[in-house]
Amino acid sequence: MANPPLLSLGHGVSFCRFSRTNLRVEVGGSPEATRRAFNKRFLLDLAEDWQQHGREVFKRVRRESPATYLKVCAMLVPREMKVENSGGVKAMTDEQIEEAIAAIKAMLAAQAGETAKVIEGEAEVVPSLPAPARPTKAS
């Protein structure tokens, strides 16, 4: 009988045991447990490899294949971001609203102090112009 594959997440295979030297797959348990065990081992190995070679590999890929480097960066950004409204201002107490207003005012004051340029002056009264003359009919 041929040796079965090391890991198959298909029917019947649902339990894994890991050691530093080998992976042993047994029948029994749940597919979720197998998936968690496999993911855990994969991430541990990946972290170990990153500790040994990660920075150097990133530098080399960035120099030699910038498109691949950017693709990896883009893959790390989530495709969707779920934003939930948790009640907003209606769920806040009066004290929380006052604190939020004070924080916003402080932030605006800090930004205004950094970026705003103040020009002092007075409005000048300008006399109004006369109405334009009406065109006459040419004969």
End-to-end CA distance of the chain: 114
CA–CA separation, 125 and 78 (whole Å): 58
Residue 18 has pLDDT above 70, yes or no: no
Q: Model-level pTM? A: 0.33
**Interior angle at CA 36, CA 34 and CA 37, nearest 5:** 65
CB atoms within 10 A of CB 61: 16
Residue 131 has pLDDT above 80, yes or no: no
Q: Go through 49-59 and write b for each residue having 16 or more CB atoms within 10 A of its CB, e for each that does not.
A: eeeeeeeeeee
pLDDT in tens, 52-83: 998 898 899 889 998 998 888 888 888 787 77
